[in-house]
């Protein structure tokens, strides 16, 4: 049986059953609602929110940041045992996880949001408008396991709303696209379909797209500070400084995040790229050759679609670029695969040298 305080945070009978062995050990369940420092998080429990310290053993066991608790995670707590109020001992398995490659030179993952049902990918219809960046966000969304929904904000500032919406619907290809103007409060009623009780939704987008304004409108009060974009380049300035879950009047949980300066892919096998570009993938299955690279081979259905105006050439270029990025990432992730890749290129170079001698 779930407890009322936890039910509001999305705790289900299935989670209660999975947690039963930990509860028998005297641990209590909770959900991370905000990150405070590298060692401290705020956790919602059946008895309210408390501050919990991530156990040193958990930090030691975690190979990288992907295994550490993220906002949205369900965790096991030991009350007391820390000046913070509780010790966070373990993280329950995630249903979904929105993951990107962390900034910097190291090839490690960063979990932006966990156990999310729907991801609102927010893009401004002003100078922020960038279909290619949205494609990258869609790849991560499909990899996460959550349902992506595109929010085109600032409709009141759009230079050509009809053309921009049509372009994004082609880019998103089957993903719901909602056009809103959060500042004047227009169009937000469309989002009710994804904001039911117990549902968790994450807001993701670059700085200045209006995520905090959207949150404030849905909350019905000014919870997050908002700032105007810079007049010089229409780029945003960060107002949200950390990830945090908010309970909406509808009973849904909305996860606000800082603006993403860049979207570094973190993909497992390229499934997210194929899902985000299913129109290209579908065409590719009808190419004459299964190894077709869509670079001028005879019988290429993708090239034929571009020639007939049914597919944008820029979309194919983006698909191939993201595919190559994922392959490069996977090689860096897997030392064995890196050795195999090196061996494959050695064989290619050896064959080329032999061909020159012949």
- Residues whose CB falls within 8 Å of the CB of residue 189, separated by 6 or more in sequence, listed in order: none
**CB pairs under 8 A, 24+ apart, for 106-112?**
107/329, 107/332, 107/333, 108/64, 108/65, 108/66, 109/64, 109/65, 109/66, 109/266, 110/65, 110/66, 110/266, 111/65, 111/66, 111/68, 111/70, 112/70, 112/202, 112/204, 112/243, 112/257
Q: Indicate the fold that domain 97-256 takes in CATH.
A: Rossmann fold (3.40.50)
Tens digit of each residue's pLDDT (9 = 90 or more) over 49-69: 999 999 998 888 765 567 789
Tens digit of each residue's pLDDT (9 = 90 or more) over 174-189: 999 999 999 999 999 9
* Range list for CATH 3.40.50.300 in the chain: 97-256
pTM, to two decimals: 0.82
- Architecture of the domain spanning 4-91: Beta Barrel (2.40)
* Range list for CATH 2.40.50.140 in the chain: 4-91
Tens digit of each residue's pLDDT (9 = 90 or more) over 309-346: 999 999 999 999 998 888 877 666 655 444 554 555 45
Between CA 98 and CA 356 the distance in angstroms is 48
Q: Is 268 helix (H, G, I), strand (E, B) or coil?
A: coil
Q: In this structure, are residues 297 and 288 in contact, taking their beta carbons and an 8 Å threshold?
A: yes
* Range list for CATH 1.10.40.50 in the chain: 277-357
pLDDT at 343 (0 to 100): 57
Q: How many residues does the chain have?
A: 358
Q: Is 86 helix (H, G, I), strand (E, B) or coil?
A: strand
Handedness of CA 163, 169, 171, 176 (dihedral sign): positive
Which option is the CATH number for 277-357: 3.40.50.720, 2.30.42.10, 1.10.40.50, 3.30.750.24?
1.10.40.50
Instruction: Give the CA distances from residue 205 to residues 68, 238, 306, in Å, rounded to whole numbers and listed in that order.
Output: 23, 11, 30
Q: Which one has a higher pLDDT value, 313 or 221?
A: 313
Between CA 348 and CA 183 the distance in angstroms is 57
């Amino acid at each position: 049986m779930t407890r009322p305080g936890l039910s509001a945070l999305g705790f289900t009978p299935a989670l209660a059953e999975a947690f039963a062995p930990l509860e028998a050990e005297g641990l209590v369940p909770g959900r991370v609602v905000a990150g405070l420092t590298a060692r401290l998080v705020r956790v919602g429990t059946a008895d309210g929110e408390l501050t919990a310290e991530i156990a040193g053993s958990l930090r030691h066991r975690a190979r990288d940041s992907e295994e550490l608790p993220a906002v949205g995670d369900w965790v096991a707590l030991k009350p007391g045992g820390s000046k913070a109020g509780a010790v966070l001992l373990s993280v329950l398995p995630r249903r979904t996880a929105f993951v990107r490659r962390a900034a910097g030179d190291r090839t490690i993952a960063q979990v932006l949001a966990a156990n999310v049902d729907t991801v609102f990918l927010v893009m401004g219809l002003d100078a922020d408008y960038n279909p290619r960046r949205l494609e990258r966000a869609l790849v991560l969304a499909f990899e996460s396991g959550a349902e992506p929904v595109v929010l085109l904000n600032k409709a009141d500032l759009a230079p050509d709303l009809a053309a921009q919406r049509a372009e994004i619907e082609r880019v998103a290809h089957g993903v719901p696209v909602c056009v809103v103007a959060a500042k004047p409060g227009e169009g937000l009623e469309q989002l009710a379909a994804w904001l039911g009780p117990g549902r968790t939704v994450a807001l993701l987008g670059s700085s200045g797209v209006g995520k905090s304004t959207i949150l404030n409108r849905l909350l019905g009060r000014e919870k997050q500070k908002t700032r105007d974009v810079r007049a010089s380049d229409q780029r945003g300035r960060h107002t949200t400084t950390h990830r945090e879950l908010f309970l909406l009047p509808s009973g849904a949980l909305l996860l606000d995040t800082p603006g993403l300066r860049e979207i570094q892919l973190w993909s497992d096998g390229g499934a997210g790229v194929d899902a985000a570009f299913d129109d290209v993938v579908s065409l590719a299955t009808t190419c004459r050759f299964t190894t077709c690279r869509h670079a001028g081979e005879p019988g290429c259905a993708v090239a034929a679609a571009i020639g007939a105006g049914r597919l944008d050439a820029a979309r194919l270029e983006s698909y191939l670029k993201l595919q190559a990025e994922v392959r490069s990432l996977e090689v860096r992730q897997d030392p064995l695969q890196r050795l195999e890749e090196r061996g494959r290129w050695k064989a290619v170079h050896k064959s080329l040298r032999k061909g020159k001698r012949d």
